[in-house]
Amino acid sequence: MSTIAIPNETLPRTGIAATLPAPAPLADADRKPLTKKETAADHPTWCPGCGDFSVLALYYKLIEKRKMLHENICTVAGIGCSSRFPYFVQAHGAHFIHGRALAFASGVSLSRPDLHVFVFGGDGDAFSIGGNHFTHTARKNIKLTYVVMDNFVYGLTKKQTSPTSPIGFKSKTDVGGSTDRPVNPMKQAISAGATFVGRATATNLPHLLKLMEAAMDHDGFSFIECLSECIEFFPGAFDAAVPRKGGTFTEIPSEHDVTDEYAAYKLCDAPWPGVFGTFYKVDRATKNANEAKLITDSRAKLAGVPDWQILQRNFDRMK
C-alpha cells in the first residue's frame, strides 16, 4: 500500500530573523495613501529620457490617488525594457518570461479576485511572441489591466524591428527599412473581444492617468496602448503626437460611442499619429465572474460539506 513520504507541513513564513515585529493588520481605513517614496523601489535602469519613466511615475500616482495598498496590488511583466517595471514598484510583483505575462497574470487574477492585477510590457512582448495570449485573454475577458508601452522597436535587445515598427523603419534586422505590415494593436484588441481598449502617450500625463484610472475601474480585460518613446533606438518616433514638438495630440471626440465596435474599429485607422482616448468599452461577463458562477452553482448543494466529504462521495460511487 502506498503512503506519503513527505507529509504536509506548516511552513516557516520567512527566513529572516525579524527585527521588526510583524505588523498587526490595519483596517484599511486607518491607513494613509501610499506616497511615491513608499511605492518606488529600485532606481529604474532605463536610459535617461526613456518614455517608460512617465508611465512608472503615473503608476505611483495612481496608487496614491486611488489609495491602493502595497499588498493588494500585483505588478506583472514579461521581458523587455518596459517589462522591468515590477522591480521599480514597491509591491508584490513578478517578472515572468518573454511574452507570457498575460497568462501568468490571468492565473493571479482568476485565483485572487481581491487583488488589482496590473500587467506592463512592450510591443514585442505583447504582439510578437505574446500575441496569442493577448487574443485569448481578451476574448475570455479576464479581469486585469494591461498597459503596453509601445515604442515600435525592440529596446532591450537593441533595435530590431518590432511588430509595431512602421514600414521603412531601419533596424538591425531591417537595415534597408522594414517591409512587413505592422500589427495594429487597437484592431487586434477590438477584434479579439477586449472590453476596454484605450490609447495614450507617455507624453500627455493627465490623459494617461485618466485612462489608467478608467482601465482600472473597468470590470474586465482593460488594455491601453501607450506610445512610449525609446530615446535610444527610435528617438522622435512619436513627435507627431507631442504638441511641444510641433505635433498634435488628438483626443477621441466626445460624441464617439465607445460601445460601437465598428466606430471603434474605424478609429484605429485614423491617420498618423492617430487618436487617443477610449476606443471601446463594453460590459461583458468576465471569465472571473463566469467561473465564480460555476463555483456557486456547483456548491449550491454542498453548503457546509467539508472538502473531504465531497471527495468521499465520489469515491463511494467508485466502490
Partner 1 sequence: MSDNTSTATTNDSSRTSAITESVIRIAGDSQDGIQAIGGFLARLAGRSEQEVMTFMTIPSTISGGPSIFQVRIGSGEVLSAGDEADVLLCFYDHSYANHISSLKRGGIVLYDSDHVTPKEDMLSVYRHVGVAISSLTVEAIGGTGRDKGKNIYALGLIARMFDLNVPKLTKLIEERFGGKDPSIVTNALNCFNGGYGHQIQGLIESFRFEHAEKTGAPQVVMSGNEALAYGIIAAGVRFGAGYPITPWSEIMELLRRELPKYGGMFVQTEDEIAAISMAIGGSYAGRVSVTGSSGPGISLKTEALGWASMAEMPVVVIDVQRGGPSTGMPTNQEQSDLNIACFGGHGDSPRVVLAPSSVEDCFYTAIEAVNIARKFSTPVIILSDQAIATRIEAFPCPDLQNICQDISPDFTPVADHKPYDLTATDGVTRHIAPGTRVASGKYPVATGLEHDELGHPTGSGKLHTQMNAKRRNKLRKLASELPVPKIYGATEGHVLLVGWGSSKGPIEEAVKLGRSQGEAVSGLHIKYINPLPNGLENLFNGFTHVVVCEINDEGLYGHGQLASLLRSRYCDPRIKSVTKTDGLPWKVKDILTRALALTK
Cell of 241: 503626437
Report the C-alpha gap between 94 and 232 in whole angstroms: 26
> Considering the rule CB under 6 A, would residue 229 count as an interface residue with ligand TPP?
no
Q: How far is the CB of 193 from partner 1 (least distance, A)?
A: 13
Helical H segments across 66-197, by residue range: 101-111, 123, 131-140, 185-192
Residue (14 or 248) nearer to partner 1, CB = 14
In the chain the first and final C-alpha atoms are separated, in Å, by 17
Q: Could you give the CA distance from residue 54 to residue 157 in angstroms, rounded to a whole number?
A: 21
99 is a contact residue toward ligand SF4 (CB under 6 A): no
Which of 82, 141, 184, 288 is close enough to bind ligand TPP by CB under 6 A? Answer: 82
Residue 233 interacting partner from ligand SF4, Mg ion, partner 1, none (CB closer than 5 to 8 Å by kind)? ligand SF4
Picked from its own copies, ligand SF4, partner 1, none, the partner binding residue 307 (CB below 5 to 8 A depending on kind) is partner 1
Kindly state the helix (H) or strand (E) to which residue 115 belongs, with its residue range. Answer: none
Determine contact, residues 227/200, Cβ cutoff 8 Å: yes
Choose the binding region for its own copies from 8-16, 114-122, 151-159, 261-269 (rule: CB under 8 A): 261-269
Contacts of ligand TPP in 96-125 (CB under 6 A): 98, 122-125
User: Of 200-239, which residues contact partner 1 (CB under 8 A)?
Assistant: 232
Q: Are strands 153-154 and 221-227 parallel, antiparallel or unpaired?
A: unpaired
Q: Residues 90, 109, 123, 178: which binds Mg ion (CB under 5 A)? A: 123
Residue 200: strand pairing partners: 226
Find all residues with CB under 8 Å of 200, minimum gap 6, and list them. Answer: 207, 208, 211, 224, 225, 226, 227, 276, 277
Chain residues in the site for its own copies (CB under 8 A): 128-129, 131-132, 135-136, 139-141, 163, 176, 179-184, 187-188, 190-193, 262, 265-266, 284-285, 287, 290-291, 294, 297
Chain residues in the site for Mg ion (CB under 5 A): 122-123, 151, 155
Chain residues in the site for ligand TPP (CB under 6 A): 79-82, 98, 122-125, 149, 151, 153-157, 162
